[in-house]
Amino acid sequence: MDAYCAQHPGEPERRTVQSINIHLAGLYVTVGRGLASDYARRVIGALTAGHAAAFRWLDPPPNLGTIRINHVRTAAGADDHGERVRAWARSVWDAWAHYHDDVARLVARVA
Protein backbone atom coordinates (compact mmCIF):
# COMPACT_ATOMS: atom_id res chain seq x y z
CA MET A 1 0.00 0.00 0.00
CA ASP A 2 2.84 2.43 0.78
CA ALA A 3 4.28 2.01 -2.72
CA TYR A 4 0.92 2.58 -4.40
CA CYS A 5 0.17 5.70 -2.35
CA ALA A 6 3.65 7.13 -2.93
CA GLN A 7 3.13 6.66 -6.67
CA HIS A 8 -0.19 8.52 -6.49
CA PRO A 9 0.53 11.46 -4.18
CA GLY A 10 -2.32 13.71 -5.28
CA GLU A 11 -2.42 17.48 -4.87
CA PRO A 12 -1.15 19.46 -1.86
CA GLU A 13 -3.87 19.56 0.80
CA ARG A 14 -4.01 18.35 4.39
CA ARG A 15 -4.95 14.71 3.72
CA THR A 16 -2.50 14.20 0.88
CA VAL A 17 0.30 15.89 2.85
CA GLN A 18 -0.32 13.42 5.68
CA SER A 19 -0.62 10.52 3.25
CA ILE A 20 2.66 11.09 1.45
CA ASN A 21 4.56 11.60 4.71
CA ILE A 22 3.25 8.45 6.39
CA HIS A 23 3.60 6.25 3.32
CA LEU A 24 7.15 7.41 2.68
CA ALA A 25 7.84 6.78 6.37
CA GLY A 26 6.54 3.23 5.89
CA LEU A 27 8.82 2.73 2.89
CA TYR A 28 11.76 4.17 4.82
CA VAL A 29 11.25 1.73 7.69
CA THR A 30 10.67 -1.37 5.55
CA VAL A 31 12.82 -0.69 2.48
CA GLY A 32 15.32 1.87 3.67
CA ARG A 33 16.05 0.24 7.02
CA GLY A 34 14.91 -3.32 6.29
CA LEU A 35 12.65 -3.54 9.34
CA ALA A 36 9.38 -5.44 9.71
CA SER A 37 6.08 -4.07 8.45
CA ASP A 38 4.63 -4.43 11.97
CA TYR A 39 7.23 -1.95 13.18
CA ALA A 40 6.40 0.37 10.27
CA ARG A 41 2.73 0.34 11.30
CA ARG A 42 3.70 1.36 14.84
CA VAL A 43 5.88 4.18 13.51
CA ILE A 44 3.08 5.40 11.24
CA GLY A 45 0.61 5.28 14.13
CA ALA A 46 2.92 7.29 16.36
CA LEU A 47 3.57 9.86 13.64
CA THR A 48 -0.12 10.27 12.89
CA ALA A 49 -1.06 10.53 16.56
CA GLY A 50 1.45 13.10 17.69
CA HIS A 51 3.56 14.57 14.92
CA ALA A 52 1.23 15.60 12.11
CA ALA A 53 2.37 19.22 12.53
CA ALA A 54 5.77 18.10 11.19
CA PHE A 55 4.26 16.87 7.92
CA ARG A 56 4.89 19.02 4.88
CA TRP A 57 4.14 18.75 1.21
CA LEU A 58 6.87 16.94 -0.70
CA ASP A 59 6.88 17.78 -4.39
CA PRO A 60 6.71 14.46 -6.23
CA PRO A 61 9.70 13.50 -8.35
CA PRO A 62 9.21 13.52 -12.13
CA ASN A 63 9.51 9.71 -12.19
CA LEU A 64 7.59 7.90 -9.43
CA GLY A 65 9.33 4.57 -9.96
CA THR A 66 9.93 2.23 -12.85
CA ILE A 67 7.75 -0.57 -11.48
CA ARG A 68 3.97 -0.31 -11.22
CA ILE A 69 1.27 -2.39 -9.56
CA ASN A 70 0.64 -4.27 -12.83
CA HIS A 71 4.06 -5.89 -12.37
CA VAL A 72 2.84 -7.36 -9.08
CA ARG A 73 -0.51 -8.50 -10.48
CA THR A 74 1.16 -10.83 -12.96
CA ALA A 75 3.12 -12.78 -10.34
CA ALA A 76 3.31 -16.53 -10.92
CA GLY A 77 2.90 -17.53 -7.27
CA ALA A 78 3.38 -16.45 -3.68
CA ASP A 79 7.19 -16.32 -3.81
CA ASP A 80 7.17 -14.39 -7.08
CA HIS A 81 4.52 -12.05 -5.67
CA GLY A 82 6.66 -11.27 -2.63
CA GLU A 83 9.72 -10.59 -4.77
CA ARG A 84 7.73 -8.31 -7.06
CA VAL A 85 6.22 -6.36 -4.15
CA ARG A 86 9.70 -5.82 -2.70
CA ALA A 87 11.05 -4.70 -6.09
CA TRP A 88 8.11 -2.33 -6.54
CA ALA A 89 8.59 -0.84 -3.06
CA ARG A 90 12.34 -0.40 -3.72
CA SER A 91 11.62 1.29 -7.06
CA VAL A 92 9.22 3.76 -5.46
CA TRP A 93 11.46 4.44 -2.46
CA ASP A 94 14.41 5.08 -4.81
CA ALA A 95 12.28 7.49 -6.87
CA TRP A 96 11.79 9.69 -3.79
CA ALA A 97 15.56 9.74 -3.03
CA HIS A 98 15.63 13.54 -2.82
CA TYR A 99 13.57 13.29 0.39
CA HIS A 100 15.25 10.32 2.09
CA ASP A 101 16.96 12.48 4.71
CA ASP A 102 13.74 14.40 5.42
CA VAL A 103 11.80 11.17 5.91
CA ALA A 104 14.55 9.73 8.14
CA ARG A 105 14.37 12.84 10.35
CA LEU A 106 10.59 12.55 10.53
CA VAL A 107 10.77 8.88 11.59
CA ALA A 108 13.50 9.71 14.13
CA ARG A 109 10.89 11.71 16.05
CA VAL A 110 9.19 8.46 17.08
CA ALA A 111 11.71 5.65 16.50
Q: Using one digit for the tens of pLDDT, what is the confidence trace for 28-80?
A: 999 999 999 999 999 999 999 989 899 999 999 999 999 999 999 999 999 99
pLDDT (0 to 100) of residue 1: 84
pTM score, two decimals? 0.94
**Secondary structure percentages of the chain, helix, strand, coil, to 5:** 70, 0, 30
pLDDT (0 to 100) of residue 41: 96
Query: In which band, very low, low, confident or very high, does the pLDDT at 17 lie, cut at 50, 70 and 90?
Result: very high
| CA atoms of 43 and 74, how far apart (whole Å) | 31
pLDDT higher than 90, residue 111: no
Count the Cβ atoms, other than its own, within 10 Å of residue 67: 19
Count the Cβ atoms, other than its own, within 10 Å of residue 24: 25
pLDDT (0 to 100) of residue 82: 95
